Structure 1
Amino acid sequence: MNMSVPFSLLFTLIILFLSVLISSTSAKKPGDASQDLVRSSCVHASYPNICLRSLSSYSGPANTPGEVAQAAVKVSLSRARKASNYLANLRSQSKREQGAFHDCVEQMGDSVDELSKTLSELKHLRSGSFRWQMSNAETWVSAALTNEDTCLDGFKEVTGKVRSDVKRKVTNLARVTSNALYLINRLDQSRQKTP
C-alpha cells in the first residue's frame, strides 16, 4: 500500500505549522514588555508578591525603571490617602483610642505629603541634579515609612476589631511603601551604573 503525500501538500503543511508556531511564540501583547519590567523590578523587593500585584493592576505607563518607581509611589500615595480617610472617619470609644486615632491621622497626613513630594521629584528628574533629587525621594519615602510604623505604635495599647482593622490597613500600606522605596533605590543604583 503506497500512501505517498504530494510534496506540495507536505511542504504547505510544514510552512503552515512553522508559521503558527513562530507567531504564537514571538507575538507579544503590547503590555508584555511593561509586565516583564514590572516582574523583573519586583522580584527582589521586600514584598515581591504585593509589588507584582499592585503594579500589575496599575493603569498608567510603566515602561521604564523611572515609570515603575513613579507607579509604585502613586500606588503608595493612593493607599496612604485611603488609610488617612479611613482613620479620620473612625469613631473611638475611649480616650486611649482617641489619642491613637489623632496621632495616626496626623502621621498618615505627613505620609501623604512626603509621598506627594516624592512623586513630584521623580516626575522632574534632571541629569544635573539627579543625585540630589534621588536623595530627596529616598529620604521622603523613608520618612513616610517611619510615619506609618509610628502610627501603628500608637495602637499597641488598643484592643479589639478597631486595632486589627487599623493594623491590617497600615501594615499593607507600609509594605507597599517599602516596595516603593526599593524601586526608587533600584532606579538610583541603575542610573549610577550608566556612564
Structure 2
Amino acid sequence: MTPPPPPCLACLLTLLLLAAAAAPPAGAICVPRNPGGHSKPGAPAKPAPPKPKPLTPAAPAPPKLTPMAPGADIVRSLCLKTDYPDLCMSAIAKQPQPQLPVGKRLDGAGVLRLAMGAVRTKAAEAKAAAGALANDPRTQPLARGPLHDCVESFDDIAYSLDQAAKSLAAGDRDTTGTMLDTVRTDVDTCDQGFEEREELTPVMAKHDAELAKLSSNCLAIATAAGLR
C-alpha cells in the first residue's frame, strides 16, 4: 500500500493541475475584439462619414427695375440742366401727362409745357393764399395792399403763360422767351410789395420762393431745348 503524499506536495499538485486547465491550447492566437463588434479581423477600418458642409446663404435676388414712363428720359435730361433739378422732376411728375399719338415720344416742347403747367398750378395756389390773407381780419392793415398786388401778379403769371404757350405752338422762340421772362418778373413783383415795407412780415415769401424756382426752371428748359 502506497502512503499518501505529504500535505504540501498535494497542494502543489493541485495548483499545477488548475494552471494547466486555464492555459490556452498550443498554437492558439488571442485576437482582441473589434470595439464596433461588426468588422472581421484584418478588414480595413471604414472611413468616418464626411462632415456636412455649412449651408451657403443664397445670393439675394437682383432688385426689380421700375420701368420708366415714356418720355421720362428727356424729362430727366432737361431737368438736370436747371438749377433745381429735383424740384423740376417732382413738379413735372405731378402734372397730367399728355396723351401722345401712338409711336410719338415726349419732346423738349412737351417737357416745357409740363414745366409751365407746374408754374400755373403753383401760381393758382399762391393766388388763393394771398386772397385769403387779404380778407383775413387778423392780417396787418398795411399788408392788405401788397397782398392784393400779389393776387394781380399771380393773374399776370397765368396770362404770360398763356402767351408763352401760344408762341411755343407757333414756333416763335423770341416771344416764348420774352413771356417766360415776364413770368419770372411777375413773381418778383409780389415780393417787392413787402420788401418796400420793412415793418411787414413777408407772408408770401414761401410761395414766391417756389414760384421763382419753377419759373427759373422753365427758362432753363427752354434754353436747353432750343425753344427761346
Check whether TM > 0.5: yes
Unaligned runs of 5+ in 1: 1-20
Letter in 2 for 1:56: A
1:140-170: CA deviation from partner (whole Å, max 9, x where unpaired): 111111110121111123667x62x410011
Q: Aligned pair 1:44/2:84, yes or no?
A: no
Q: Aligned match of 1:171 in 183, 202, 209?
A: 209
* Residue matched to 1:66: 109
Matches within 5 A, 1:27-176: 29=67, 31=69, 33-61=70-98, 63-91=106-134, 93-122=139-168, 124-125=169-170, 130=171, 133-156=172-195, 157=197, 163=202, 165-176=203-214
Report the Cα distance in structure 2 between the residues aligned to 1:56 and 1:78, rounded to whole angstroms: 13
Greater helix fraction, Structure 1 or Structure 2: 1
TM-score, scaled relative to structure 2 = 0.61
1:25-75: CA deviation from partner (whole Å, max 9, x where unpaired): 8xx8361x4111111111120211111111133331371111001111111
* Pair 1:169–1:159, CA change in 2 (3 A): farther
Unaligned runs of 5+ in 2: 1-61, 99-104
Report the Cα distance in structure 1 between the residues aligned to 2:221 and 2:131, rounded to whole angstroms: 30
TM-score, scaled relative to structure 1 = 0.70
Q: Which has the larger radius of gyration?
A: 2
Report the Cα distance in structure 1 between the residues aligned to 2:207 and 2:222, rounded to whole angstroms: 23
Cα root mean square deviation, aligned: 2.6
Report the Cα distance in structure 1 between the residues aligned to 2:108 and 2:187, rounded to whole angstroms: 25
- Given that 1:35 and 1:56 are in contact with CA atoms closer than 8 Å, whether structure 2 keeps it comes out as no
- Given that 1:96 and 1:158 are in contact with CA atoms closer than 8 Å, whether structure 2 keeps it comes out as no
- SS of the equivalent of 2:83 reads coil
Q: 1:138 Cα deviation (Å)?
A: 0.8
Q: 1:111 Cα deviation (Å)?
A: 1.2
Report the Cα distance in structure 2 between the residues aligned to 1:94 and 1:137, rounded to whole angstroms: 38
Report the Cα distance in structure 2 between the residues aligned to 1:81 and 1:158, rounded to whole angstroms: 26
